[in-house]
A and B are shown apart, each in its own frame.
Chain A
Amino acid sequence: MKAVVIGTSHGGPKALQQLISALPVDFPVPVLIVLHRHPDGKARAENQLNLACVVTVKQAEEKETVEAGTVYFAPPGYHLLIEDDETLSLSVDEKVNYSRPSIDVLFESAADVYGENLVAILLTGANSDGAEGLRSVKEAGGITIVQKPEDAEAATMPKAALRLMKPDKVLSLSEITSCLSKFLLNHSVDFYECIKGVRS
């Protein structure tokens, strides 16, 4: 596994707080996040999480190279994409699913770059962004995880994905959290094994 991408909207800040604060400081891969929020918003979510978490949490900057143990947020009003050389790109292309940043845009570009070495997680949210992107990740061989709709603060986003595709796992937020941190506590543990463990 080389990267984790996460998409969420309504209920996202709370869910991310739980998920990101569980990541250890030596988290072995970068995490890229699209959180739908107001375009005038400053970096409040990043700053709060950066204070509360041991991993570095920051807003993505164009052309920066992603690093392990770092969590990058798409800036409000910009799509976030990743290039073949693992540098980040931003765009102000038209909105996708009424959203900029769009989860689909991030997931599809990450699927192009990382293929089977990608984990994509779709959490709580109030629209259908992310469903197409998750399908692209799966088609490229990556691992796809959707938060259980009944566990999500807003079930629309997980449900939209489940209507469109069959993810590898449908898990509660605490299962996703423990799965990610378990994998990261022992780098030798294969992520697939970890997911099976959560299931059984």
Chain B
Amino acid sequence: MNENEKLEAELLLQAIYQKYGYDFRSYAKASIRRRIKKHQAVSGFASISAMQHELIHNEQFFTTLLKELTVNVTEMFRDPDYFFSFRNQVIPVLAEKDHIQIWHAGCASGEEVYSMAIMLEEEGLAGRYRIYATDTCSEALNVAREGIYPVAIMQEGSVNYQKAGGRRSLSEYYTAHYDHVVMADRLKANLVFSEHNLVTDAVFSEMDCVVCRNVLIYFSRVLQDRVFKLFYDALPGGGFLFLGSKEHVRFSNLADKFVKVCGNEKIFKKVG
């Protein structure tokens, strides 16, 4: 992307913000530029500016671009070591409470939300927890809400599930229909999916755990600070924050408000 294209990309993000209210202006630039270029190539526009014209005048086109800009790759029990630590080090602490509130911010199509629900059920917490799973992308949330996935993802999911300390068979948590699977209703009963934008929206409730993995790597330092403040406000003292394996609170201005509680995994506890 040359200097002119970089300028066009900036203007495109400004147009999206002013027209539709989604604010990508403080995202880390390199990835967002790559996504913009990719969408330009796929949709066949001669320039980013031409694409900007289209998105201003055609909301349908904006919706497809939004999907590209917000897409987050996820899978069942992604990073099994993290789920293993969650099961063995965090769940015993949570189990002391009558009711457990978990906020999964940036849940994408929901595979990791169902993964966590499975762990909580296996540890005897069925019916005692609620996971509020949020994302900016309504299409991804629809997928998550329905809990219908291609059967192919369960192969790797099953391997990850076992590595994460799974006690049964992953197939006990879904029913298979030809080429897809439907997650069990008893899991869905504990899940609430709703739209929430970390860039522009506020905290909505007090939470015992906040899960936000591989979302902050896409944000600028300034935006990361805003989001850490949201999480800080959502958690009581002793509340848990789960980040992606390459994310850390140490560069944020709330670095001294969280302590790391698990050897290798990015599990933190709010001080106080």
Contact = CB atoms under 8 A, between A and B. Distances in A.
Interface stretch (A7-15, A83-91, A190-198): A83-91
Contacts of A175: none
B248 to A, nearest CB: 8
B53 interface: no
Contact of A92 (B1, B28, B30, B73): B73
Contact of A109 (B34, B73, B221, B244): B34
Interface string B231-251: 000000000000010111001
B1 A112 contact: yes
B162 interface: no
A78 interface: yes
B71 interface: yes
B34 A90 contact: no
Nearest to B264: A42
Contacts, number: 52
B34 A81 contact: yes
A91 B218 contact: yes
Interface residues of B, number: 22
Interface in A51-80: 61-63, 75, 78-79
Contacts of A92: 72-73, 214, 217, 244
A93 B71 CA distance: 8
Contact of B30 (A78, A82, A94): A82
Contact of A89 (B1, B30, B244): B30
A78 B246 contact: yes
Interface in B26-82: 28-31, 33-35, 71-73
Contact of B251 (A63, A81, A90, A108): A63
Among B30, B33, B251, chain A packs the most CB atoms within 10 A around the CB of B30
A89 B217 contact: yes
Contacts of A112: 1-2, 6, 30, 33
Nearest to B28: A89
Interface in B1-21: 1-2, 6
Contacts of B31: 79, 81, 89, 91, 93
A5 to B, nearest CB: 13
B73 A93 contact: yes
Interface size range of chain A in the complex = 20 to 34
A105 interface: yes
A81 B71 CA distance: 17
Contacts of B2: 112, 140
A140 B31 CA distance: 18
B135 to A, nearest CB: 15
B246 A75 contact: yes
A1 B57 CA distance: 44
Given A75-B246, A78-B246, A94 B34 contact: no
A93 B217 contact: no
B1 A62 contact: no
A160 to B, nearest CB: 20
A63 B221 contact: yes
B24 to A, nearest CB: 14
Given A89-B31, A92-B73, A112-B1, A62 B6 contact: no
A84 B29 contact: yes
19 contacts: A61-B246, A61-B248, A62-B246, A75-B246, A78-B217, A81-B31, A82-B30, A83-B29, A84-B29, A89-B217, A90-B246, A91-B217, A91-B218, A92-B72, A92-B217, A93-B35, A94-B73, A108-B34, A140-B2
Given A81-B34, A93-B71, 9 more contacts: A63-B251, A75-B246, A78-B217, A89-B28, A89-B217, A90-B217, A91-B218, A92-B217, A92-B244
Interface of A: 61-63, 75, 78-79, 81-84, 89-94, 105, 108-109, 112, 140
Query: Lowest 6 CB-CB distances: which A-B pairs, in order?
Result: A81-B30, A89-B28, A109-B30, A91-B31, A92-B214, A112-B1
